[in-house]
């Protein structure tokens, strides 16, 4: 058994673990800093002796105990500690009691770190030095001193100072004054640069691959840039294997060539899926992608989705921009059929789109030519609209599938004018936001807001897809999908010019982190400017994080029970 004493406000506290059949050592240390007693125990070979060990061997180890413990005390800056050990033989085993008076702990009186070479003018090194441990006045810890040297060496390698070498490494300690001085000097040497990027043979144009890589020869070498090169190529979707090798052994005039080995991904990719949601019923999907139509990296993307409520066929021809990771152009077409209790519509659209990432936002500029025939109640609409628009999207999350903290925001503006290939004039804004916050290992709260506004001609001039409806799984639960909004003369939803829905939901884990229970309140409606009538629904639900995604089952009660007293809502999908 080893008994150890740790620092606490009474100054003496016993911490014990058992080692059956071995000698016991108990340390009593006043105001011991964290880790000191563990260090003392690791330096005590006496605890390895069995209870029946010969007395001469135990006594020899006991006599060496003071010397064995000194390095553990010095490592924490205690050079004047007084050690008082006692050894006795009990009925069953040997036992040693060790009282330690730590004395004054050594502190840092001065610290000087000099970096010569090209790094002397690198402001990043100044920031690193300011953040290093063992500033003047700090208690000495030899582990922190070693960490200073290791961090300087590692940082130099990461910044491209590959010839970094120490000229002086001194830790001077005066036990009489309990003070220490740190003197470190190093020569960084030159900062290396990136040389030629040598790309292996693969089916894409080499100039396009270099745009994907985004690494320019002649720029300062940095380990983070090498990692970013690997990540950019791996994330591009064009390659199934990426190997990036800096060749320092072939450096010429401090320029390091980079060998990039690439293996192209399969050109054709197919994906299928099935699902179910209360709003749309069962659904099946099929997706086909041609990852590189030509050597310039052009792509073809298509998707077919079928359900009793909403079926869509879409295809896009995508052309990478100057920086393919942030810039692309696409030409697309879409066919869609929607059949709900509120509306039936068939539409065809052609879309030209420019997508660009600006910081953490994704910006979409587009022109859409839409032709749609729809029936909403007794209202038949045959509309053609040429709509330029712009949208912004942003998603931030620690984990998209199991989000603890995160949010999603998107905003879209579009318009049309009846003098420009359009049968109606409109200006439409739609914004959506959703946020998730988890309280430690307890539950989490989710908030959601959807809002929309339409200005222009009468809503009856607009096709069903451009009218606002509310109700359903992701709107106001407790109501049927798209059943809420202004009503016509036959009391059927005809859609509104505006939309506002909100939701607040609390979820709590009940069985591990896979099963959760939830309670929620939804509110809102679609409406016209002169007719706002909010509806709300509330209820409880169950969440299960299955291997294929999060399953959601809710029972919701509407505040208006004229049609339903309650509804079940079911869905499968990611948190955001």
Which residue, among 150, 181, 165, has the nearest Cα to 119 in the 3D structure?
Answer: 165
Distance of CA 213 to the CA centre of its chain: 23
> For the purposes of burial, counting CB atoms within 10 Å of the CB of 17, is it exposed (0-12), middle (13-18) or buried (19 or more)?
exposed
pLDDT of residue 295: 96
What stretches of 496-546 adopt beta strand conformation (E)? 498-511, 515-527, 535-546
Q: Is the pLDDT of residue 31 over 80?
A: yes
d(CA 404, CA 544): 15
Which residue, among 75, 69, 76, 68, has the nearest Cα to 100 in the 3D structure?
Answer: 69
Check: CB of residue 484 under 8 Å from CB of residue 535: yes
Which pTM does this prediction carry? Answer: 0.80
pLDDT of residue 416: 97
| Structural domains present in the chain | 2-101 (3.10.20.310), 107-187 (3.10.20.310), 193-264 (3.10.20.310), 268-573 (2.40.160.50)
471: left (phi over 0), alpha (psi -120 to 50) or beta: left
d(CA 258, CA 103): 56
Residue 16 binned pLDDT confidence (cut-offs 50, 70, 90) = very low
pLDDT of residue 274: 87
pLDDT of residue 10: 36
pLDDT of residue 4: 38
Residue 573 binned pLDDT confidence (cut-offs 50, 70, 90) = confident
Check: CB of residue 357 under 8 Å from CB of residue 325: yes
Q: Is the pLDDT of residue 519 over 70?
A: yes
Own/partner contacts of 292-300, CB < 8 Å, gap of 24 or more, are 292/203, 292/204, 292/238, 292/264, 292/267, 293/317, 295/203, 295/204, 295/205, 295/208, 296/204, 296/205, 296/208, 296/320, 297/204, 297/205, 297/208, 297/212, 297/238, 297/324
pLDDT of residue 215: 93
Sign of the Cα pseudo-torsion (65, 66, 69, 71, in order): negative
Which residue, among 187, 195, 112, 194, has the nearest Cα to 156 in the 3D structure?
Answer: 187
Q: Is the pLDDT of residue 173 over 50?
A: yes
The proportion of the chain whose per-residue pLDDT surpasses 70, expressed as a percent, equals 97
Q: Is the pLDDT of residue 360 over 60?
A: yes
- Angle made by CA atoms 489, 493, 498, in degrees to the nearest 5: 115
pLDDT of residue 488: 86
> pLDDT tens for residues 40-96?
988 888 888 888 888 899 899 989 998 999 999 999 999 999 999 999 988 788 988
Q: Is the pLDDT of residue 576 over 90?
A: no
Looking up tokens 């016209």 gives: 528
Looking up tokens 């019923």 gives: 281
pLDDT of residue 9: 33
Looking up tokens 């050990």 gives: 85
Average pLDDT over residues 354-383: 95
Average pLDDT over residues 428-435: 98
Average pLDDT over residues 372-400: 94
Looking up tokens 């010839």 gives: 163
d(CA 124, CA 131): 11
Average pLDDT over residues 228-256: 95
Looking up tokens 């009391």 gives: 491
Average pLDDT over residues 545-557: 89
Beta carbons within 10 angstroms of residue 259's beta carbon: 15
Which residue, among 191, 198, 312, has the nearest Cα to 254 in the 3D structure?
Answer: 191
DSSP state, residue 214? -
Higher pLDDT, 12 or 433: 433
List alpha helices for 160-275, DSSP H.
Answer: 206-213, 223-235
H or E element, residue 58: helix 55-63
> pLDDT tens for residues 471-507?
999 999 999 999 999 988 888 899 999 999 999 999 9
pLDDT of residue 8: 36
Which residue, among 108, 110, 193, 184, has the nearest Cα to 153 in the 3D structure?
Answer: 184
d(CA 21, CA 369): 85
Copy the structure tokens of residue 457: 């001609």
Radius of gyration of the chain (CA): 35
Beta carbons within 10 angstroms of residue 38's beta carbon: 14
pLDDT of residue 330: 98
The proportion of the chain whose per-residue pLDDT surpasses 90, expressed as a percent, equals 79
> For the purposes of burial, counting CB atoms within 10 Å of the CB of 357, is it exposed (0-12), middle (13-18) or buried (19 or more)?
middle
Instruction: List b or e across 172-196, with b for residues whose CB sees 16 or more CB atoms inside 10 angstroms.
Output: ebeeeebbbebebebbbbebbbbbe
Query: What phi, psi does 26 have (nearest 5°)?
Result: -115, 125
Check: CB of residue 117 under 8 Å from CB of residue 188: yes
Secondary structure in 3-state letters for 445-474:
EEEEEEEEEEEECCHHHCCHHHCECECCCC
Looking up tokens 């790094």 gives: 119
pLDDT of residue 13: 37
Check: CB of residue 233 under 8 Å from CB of residue 215: no
Question: Listing from the earlier edge strand, what are the strands of the sheet with 24-29?
Answer: 14-17, 2-5, 24-29, 94-101, 82-89
Q: Is the pLDDT of residue 420 over 60?
A: yes
H or E element, residue 561: none
Check: CB of residue 231 under 8 Å from CB of residue 254: no
Check: CB of residue 336 under 8 Å from CB of residue 225: no
Which residue, among 20, 11, 12, 480, has the nearest Cα to 2 in the 3D structure?
Answer: 20
> pLDDT tens for residues 534-547?
999 999 999 998 88
| Average pLDDT over the chain, rounded to an integer | 92
């Amino acid at each position: 058994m080893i008994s150890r004493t740790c620092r606490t406000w009474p100054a003496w506290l016993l911490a014990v673990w058992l080692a059956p059949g071995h000698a016991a050592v108990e340390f009593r240390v006043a105001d011991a800093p964290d880790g000191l007693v563990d260090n003392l125990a690791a330096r005590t070979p006496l605890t390895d002796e069995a209870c029946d060990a010969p007395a001469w061997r135990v006594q020899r180890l006991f006599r060496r105990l003071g010397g064995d413990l000194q390095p553990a005390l010095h490592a924490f800056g205690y050079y004047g500690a007084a050690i008082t050990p006692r050894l006795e033989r009990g009925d069953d085993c040997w036992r040693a009691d060790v009282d330690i008076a730590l004395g004054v702990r050594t502190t840092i009186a001065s610290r000087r770190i000099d970096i010569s070479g090209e790094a002397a003018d690198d402001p990043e090194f100044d920031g690193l030095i300011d953040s290093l441990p063992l500033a003047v006045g700090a208690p000495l810890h030899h582990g922190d001193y070693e960490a200073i040297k290791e961090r300087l060496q590692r940082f130099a390698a990461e910044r491209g100072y590959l010839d970094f070498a120490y000229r002086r490494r001194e830790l001077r300690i005066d036990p009489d004054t309990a003070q220490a001085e740190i003197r470190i000097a190093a020569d960084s040497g030159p900062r290396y640069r990136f040389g030629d990027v040598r790309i292996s043979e693969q089916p894409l144009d080499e100039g396009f691959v270099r745009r994907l890589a985004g690494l320019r020869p002649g720029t300062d070498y940095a380990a983070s840039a090498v990692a970013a090169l690997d990540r950019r190529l791996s994330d591009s979707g064009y390659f199934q294997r990426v190997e990036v090798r800096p060749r320092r052994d072939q450096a010429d005039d401090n320029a390091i060539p980079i060998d990039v080995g690439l293996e192209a991904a399969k050109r054709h990719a197919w994906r299928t899926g099935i699902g179910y949601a209360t709003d749309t019923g069962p659904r099946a999907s099929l997706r086909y992608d041609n990852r590189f139509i030509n050597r310039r990296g052009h792509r073809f993307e298509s998707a077919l989705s079928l359900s009793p409520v909403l079926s869509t066929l879409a295809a896009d021809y995508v052309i990478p921009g100057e920086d393919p990771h942030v810039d692309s152009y696409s030409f697309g077409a879409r066919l869609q059929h929607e059949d709900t209790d509120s509306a039936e519509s068939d539409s065809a659209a052609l879309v030209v789109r420019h997508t660009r990432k600006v910081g953490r936002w994704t910006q979409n500029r587009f022109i859409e030519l839409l032709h749609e025939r729809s029936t909403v109640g007794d209202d038949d609409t045959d509309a053609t609209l040429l709509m330029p628009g712009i949208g912004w999207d942003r998603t931030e999350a620690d984990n998209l599938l199991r989000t603890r903290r995160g949010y999603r925001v998107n905003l879209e503006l579009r318009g049309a004018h009846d003098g420009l290939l359009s049968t109606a004039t409109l200006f439409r804004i739609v914004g959506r936001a959703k946020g998730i916050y988890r309280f430690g290992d307890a539950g989490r709260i989710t908030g959601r807001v959807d809002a929309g506004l339409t200005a222009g001609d009468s809503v009856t001039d607009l096709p069903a897809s451009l009218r606002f409806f509310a109700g359903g799984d992701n709107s106001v639960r407790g109501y049927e999908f798209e059943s809420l909004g202004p009503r016509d003369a036959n009391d059927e939803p005809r859609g509104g010019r505006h939309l506002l829905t909100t939701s607040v939901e609390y979820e709590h884990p009940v069985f591990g982190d896979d099963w959760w229970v939830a309670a929620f309140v939804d509110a809102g409606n679609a409406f016209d400017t002169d007719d706002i009538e909010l509806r709300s629904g509330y209820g409880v639900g169950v969440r299960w994080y299955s291997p294929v995604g999060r399953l959601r089952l809710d029972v919701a009660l509407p505040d208006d029970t004229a049609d339903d007293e309650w509804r079940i809502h079911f869905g499968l999908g990611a948190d955001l």
